[in-house]
Amino acid sequence: MKRLTLALATISPLIVSASDRPNVIIVMADDLGYGDLACYGAKNVETPAVNRLAAEGNMFTQAYAPAATSTPSRYALLTGEYAWRREGTNIANGDAAMIITPERYTMADMFKNAGYATAAIGKWHLGLGHESGTQNWNEPLSCHPGDIGFDYSYLMAATADRVPCVFIENGQIANYDPEAPITVDYRKNIPGEPTGRANPELLYNLHYSHGHDQAIVNGISRIGYMKGGGKALWKDENIADSITTHAINFIKKHADEPFFMYFATNDVHVPRWPHDRFRGKNKMGLRGDAIAQFDWSVGQLLSALDSLGLAENTLIILTSDNGPIVDDGYKDKAAELLNGHRPTGPLSGSKYSTLEGGTRIPFIVRWPKKVNQSTNPTIISQIDLFASLGALINQRIPTDAAPDSFNRLENFLGTDLTDRPWIVQQALNNSLGLRIGELKYVEPTQDSPEIKWCPEVVTGYAPHPRLYNLSEDIGEANNISEKYPVETEKLASILGMIKASDYEAIKALGLWYSSP
C-alpha cells in the first residue's frame, strides 16, 4: 500500500522545538452526537466546560469519525488505517484479543518515541490479550496497551454494557479481589449465575430494552456472562469519577514532561447510569445527565491544566467516536424525554449509519499558545490526526504505518481552510459513504434498512446507489443519483480507487490537496 503523506509536501510542517512541544490530550466521547453539546446548538442540556473549550479554540462543524461504531473508529484513529481494510475490526466483545497487535506502530508509539509520557484512560474496546475468549482475568494479561505504546493504561476492556465489569490497569484487574476470581464467557452462562433474562427482579438500576440480558452487575444486565469480581467490580455511577481521577493523576505526575493522553469517556454510551449529582438538572433524563457528566469530566481536566499552569501549551482535541443513538438497549427513557432535542442536530441517520449522523461528530481543538478562536467549517477527519500529530512532534512515521492518514496539521490548527478532498464513512455493516465537497455518495448494500435489534435506527442502507447534495440537503432526504448518473458513477469509481489505494488514479482526476 502506498503512503499518502509523501505526496502532501505542499503543507509546510509547523516547526515546534523539542522544548516547546505541547502536551496532547484526545478527549474521546462515546456516542456523543453532532447536536448534543450546547456550543453545537443543543438546548436542553448545559455543557459549560465544552463551551469554554470551543470559545477558546477551533470548533469544527464538518468533522468526521472514520466509522459509525466504536471499535473500527478507534482502530482507525490509533493506527491511521481505515478499519474496513482489515478483518476483525468490528464491534469487539469484552473478551476479544488485542485487535491492534504489539508489532503494529500506533499513534501512542509515535508519541512514546518522541519522548512523551503516554496514557490510555477510560473505554478501550480494542481487545486485550493474545487470544479471544481465553484470557485468564485473574493474572496479568499476555498483552495490553502497554505493548502498543501506552506507558500507562486504566481501562474498561470494552464498553460498560459488556463484561468484564472491572477496570484494567496496565494489563491487570485494578483492585483485584482474591476472594472473587473472575470468569468471563461470551457463549454460555456460568452455572448458578443470575441473568437479566432469567432474573429481571435483580435489575434494580436499569432494565434492558433489547439484548443486554446476560450477566447482572450493579443491578444492570450486560452483554456476556461473568462471575466474580467482588470489590473490583465497577459501579456505573462512579465510572466518570474514577477515570477522571486517574486522568488527573496522570497529568499531575507528568506535569514536568510532555505527555500524550487518550482520555476515552464511558459517557454517553449505554447503560447510562451517571452519578446522583448529575441527575435531574436537565429536561432529558439519563441521557442528558450523561452529557452533563461528560461535560463535568472535561471541566475537571481543564481545571487541572489551569492549576498546574499547563493549559497554555496543551493541545486538546475533543471529539466523539461515532454518532449518537437514543435507545441502544436499555429502558432509560432517552427517546421519551428528548423534549425536542435532536442528538444529530440537522443530520439524518445515527450511530451505525452511512448517513451523516453516523460519523459527523463534534470536534474542538484548543491550544491557547497557537490556535486562535474560530468556528471552522473545514472538512476534516479523525483519520488524519495520526500523520498530523506526527508532523507536530516531528516524528517520521514508518512507511508501512498509518496508510490512510494525511498530514493535515494546519487544518487542525485552523491555519489552512482547505477541505479534505474526500471523506469515507463506514457503517455498521462496513458499507461505505463517500463525501467529496458538497456531494455525498452512499454505496448500495443488500442489508436491511433497519437494524432489527435496535428500534428506530436509520442505517442508510439501500440496494441502489444514492447521491445527495449536502449544501441543499443536509438531511440527505433527496436522492439525486438518477438525475445525476455521471456524478454518481464518478463518486462510485473514486470510492473504488480509495478501496484499492490507487492514489495515482485519484490524483489524475485532479482530486488532491491544493493547500496555499
Contacts with Ca ion, residue ranges (CB under 5 A): 30-31, 70, 321-322
How, if at all, do strands 172-173 and 314-320 pair?
unpaired
Which residues, other chains included, contact 387 with Cβ-Cβ below 8 Å and sequence gap of 6+? Answer: 4, 5, 80, 397, 402, 405, 406, 407, 408
Q: Look at residue 329 and give the partner it binds from ligand NG6, Ca ion, none, a contact being a CB closer than 5 to 8 Å depending on partner kind.
A: ligand NG6
Name residue 264's beta-bridge partners: 28, 122
Task: Provide the minimum distance between the beta carbon of 102 and ligand NG6 in the complex, in angstroms, as a whole number.
Answer: 23
28/452 Cα distance (integer angstroms): 28
Nearer to ligand NG6, 234 or 406 (CB): 234
Task: Provide the minimum distance between the beta carbon of 445 and ligand NG6 in the complex, in angstroms, as a whole number.
Answer: 18
Q: Are 105 and 230 in contact (CB under 8 A)?
A: no
Per the document, the length of the chain is: 516
Nearer to Ca ion, 242 or 322 (CB): 322
* Residues 91-110 interacting with ligand NG6 (rule: CB under 6 A): 91
Nearer to ligand NG6, 69 or 118 (CB): 69
Q: Per rule CB under 6 A, is residue 31 in the interface with ligand NG6?
A: yes
Q: Which of 5, 23, 70, 344 touches ligand NG6 (CB under 6 A)?
A: 70
Task: Provide the minimum distance between the beta carbon of 453 and ligand NG6 in the complex, in angstroms, as a whole number.
Answer: 4
Q: Per rule CB under 6 A, is residue 89 in the interface with ligand NG6?
A: no
- Enter the C-alpha cell of residue 151: 506507558
Angle between helices 48-55 and 285-307 (to 10 degrees): 50
Q: Are 47 and 39 in contact (CB under 8 A)?
A: yes
425/161 Cα distance (integer angstroms): 25
Task: Provide the minimum distance between the beta carbon of 200 and ligand NG6 in the complex, in angstroms, as a whole number.
Answer: 17
What does the per-residue mask of binding to ligand NG6 show for 157-196, with x meaning CB under 6 A? Answer: --x-x-----------------------------------
* Residues 269-288 interacting with ligand NG6 (rule: CB under 6 A): 269-270
Task: Provide the minimum distance between the beta carbon of 286 and ligand NG6 in the complex, in angstroms, as a whole number.
Answer: 15
Count Cβ neighbours within 10 Å for each residue of 392-430 and write b for 16 or more, e otherwise.
bbebebeeebbbbbbbbbbbbbbbbebbbbbbbbbbbbe
Task: Provide the minimum distance between the beta carbon of 287 and Ca ion in the complex, in angstroms, as a whole number.
Answer: 14
Task: Provide the minimum distance between the beta carbon of 290 and ligand NG6 in the complex, in angstroms, as a whole number.
Answer: 13
Q: Look at residue 210 and give the partner it binds from Ca ion, ligand NG6, none, a contact being a CB closer than 5 to 8 Å depending on partner kind.
A: ligand NG6
- Enter the C-alpha cell of residue 330: 436499555
Q: Are 272 and 216 in contact (CB under 8 A)?
A: no
> In 3D, which of 400, 422, 418 has the Cα closest to residue 409?
418
Nearer to ligand NG6, 207 or 490 (CB): 207
Task: Provide the minimum distance between the beta carbon of 364 and Ca ion in the complex, in angstroms, as a whole number.
Answer: 18
Q: Per rule CB under 6 A, is residue 329 in the interface with ligand NG6?
A: yes
What does the per-residue mask of binding to ligand NG6 show for 206-245, with x meaning CB under 6 A? Answer: ----xxx----------x----------------------
Does residue 136 come out as left (phi exceeding 0), alpha (psi in the -120 to 50 range) or beta? Answer: beta
The residues binding ligand NG6 (CB under 6 A) are 30-31, 69-70, 91, 125, 159, 161, 210-212, 223, 269-270, 322, 328-329, 453
